[in-house]
Amino acid sequence: MSNTLGFSWQNTYTSLPDVFYTYQAPTPVSTPDVVILNNKLISALGLDFSCLDSKELAAIFSGNQVLHKCQPFAQAYAGHQFGHFTMLGDGRAITLGEHLTPCGQIVDIQLKGAGPTCYSRRGDGRAAVGPMLREYIISEAMFALGIPSTRSLALVTSGEDVVREEYLPGAILTRVATSHIRVGTFEFAAMQQSSNLLEALVDYTIKRHKITLAEGDNKALVLLDDVITKQVDLITDWMRVGFIHGVMNTDNMALSGETLDYGPCAFMDVYSPDTVFSSIDHSGRYAYANQPMIANWNITKLAETLLPLIAADIDTAIALAKEHLSKFTELYEQKWLNMMRAKLGIFGSEATDSQLILDLLNWMQKNYLDYTNTFCDLINQDRLSYGPYQSEEFLAWYKRWHERLGQNNESLDCSYKLMQKTNPLLIPRNHRVEQALDKANEGNYEAVYDLLTALKSPYEESKSLDYYRALPKNSERIYQTFCGT
Ligand code: AMP
Ligand code: MG
């Protein structure tokens, strides 16, 4: 155990044709230092680092020491960025290898910010501590919220500055993912103009994601359906908690259905469907309310790459692809409606449910009310005794809502329980995240640790809640977030 640290390295991705990757070792850094280790995840993965001192841990999670049996590589991919096609690839992420977990799941163990690769274009291959901590915090918050996400295993500072608009402390994040296969990986495969390469990627993805194929199935369509289902579920979850990804480019959409690449992402405070935080999203393409439509657009790009495998005749292939793609909207609308019903403690379905939900959302928007807190307030009589909750409009809505709850075949208590597990009390509010990151940039990580601790149980009442539930004061309000690449 002590010499393997519990790792059971697999080399599956590199069994793909070699255009899909390039072997690349991380570039060592001067003085790595461990800032965070995710001990729960370490044990869940069947790993044990108890025999290592902090220097040895820092060496491993900075990439300074490549473990025995690891053959690190960078993946090739392409992507539509803000609608425009580009050839990309891991420009600063290096996969150390794949680890077989005790549950029989293969996961990528990847270092982000580990140095340049042949896909770096003009980038330095490095990452600043702020954006890597943001990914650490939000990805772990997503996990605790019950939303599929890549995970964060460790964060080390490199002891070296990275040059952005200013000098910033450099860092390396260890990311764990069910896979890093993206829509963009398929776009890359399609660009190679070889159906053998495309088929190899389809076969690999189906096997890696354990997608069931029945005799006679068209595997490209089965894969497409799987992606549609997973993305519908994922986006519904994002909408449930007010998460805005910020850069839903096709290279940032994972076929595993996990939230991937936390750049300028943020959670919405005040309910406003057109909320955008990303400083580079000038047209609002990736605004909160656009996310389902963009996911659908991205999956259409995936379907286009699969056409040669869907049918030999292009017109037949297009017709079949369209037929499968058309399921997205209907499926999403159904899932969204059910998710909103759960947010309101509604069981079963009534024709009037949609209107009831929309009326609440419109009222929240008109009154600049907080998306997260409003749903929690609905079951808290103390909080309903003041402010906009005393308005005629809200009281009329509240009466309708209670009449609807009366139609449930379940008790009011069951409704409230459903609401409690659907509506988080705690989200990583952007102003709290930014405040913690500002301190971290000065070398003080206490606020990050406190935030991470609080975010572990987002559905439970706790003492620290008031501080983290508080809305930003005007001076604290964050209007823009930056990729910081
Ligand atoms: P992202 O916006 O993080 O999804 O990155 C988009 C693309 O730019 C990916 O191909 C990244 O690998 C690449 N990239 C981002 N930052 C850097 C960097 N500092 N050095 C090299 N490549 C980068
Ligand atoms: Mg990316």
Mean per-residue pLDDT, 277-300: 96
- Residue 77 CA to ligand 2 center (angstroms) comes to 10
Residue with tokens 């997973």: 230
Position 485 confidence tier, pLDDT thresholds 50, 70, 90? low
| In the predicted structure, residue 474 carries a pLDDT above the cut 90 | no
Closest listed residue to residue 296, CA positions, set 239, 364, 248, 243: 248
What pLDDT does 147 receive?
98
pLDDT single digits (tens) 245-288 = 999 999 999 999 999 999 999 999 999 999 998 899 999 999 99
pLDDT single digits (tens) 379-426 = 998 999 988 999 999 999 999 999 999 999 999 999 999 999 999 999
Q: At 60, which helix (H) or strand (E)?
A: helix 54-62
pLDDT single digits (tens) 454-466 = 999 999 998 778 9
The SS3 of residue 181 is coil
Ligand closest to Cα of 77 equals 1
Residues with CB under 6 A from ligand 1: 88-92, 120, 123-126, 247, 252, 261, 263, 483, 485
pLDDT single digits (tens) 98-129 = 999 999 999 999 999 999 999 999 999 999 99
DSSP state of 237: H
Ligand closest to Cα of 281 equals 1
Position 2 confidence tier, pLDDT thresholds 50, 70, 90? very low
What pLDDT does 3 receive?
60
List % helix, strand, coil for the chain (3-state, nearest 5). 45, 15, 40
What pLDDT does 259 receive?
98
Residue whose CA is closest, atom 12 of ligand 1? 91
Residue with tokens 């309310």: 289
pTM of the model: 0.97
Instruction: Indicate which atom in ligand 1 lies nearest the CA of residue 127.
Output: 19
Mean per-residue pLDDT, 320-328: 98
| In the predicted structure, residue 367 carries a pLDDT above the cut 90 | yes
- Residue 297 CA to ligand 1 center (angstroms) comes to 22
- Residue 263 CA to ligand 2 center (angstroms) comes to 8
251 a catalytic residue:
yes
Instruction: Indicate which atom in ligand 1 lies nearest the CA of residue 125.
Output: 20
Residue whose CA is closest, atom 17 of ligand 1? 123
Ligand closest to Cα of 259 equals 2
Read off the tokens for 102: 């005790």
Residue 267, strand partner residues: 243
- Residue 88 CA to ligand 1 center (angstroms) comes to 8
Read off the tokens for 97: 């290898």
What pLDDT does 395 receive?
97
Q: Which of 90, 226, 237, 251 is catalytic?
A: 251
pLDDT single digits (tens) 77-103 = 999 999 999 999 999 999 999 999 999
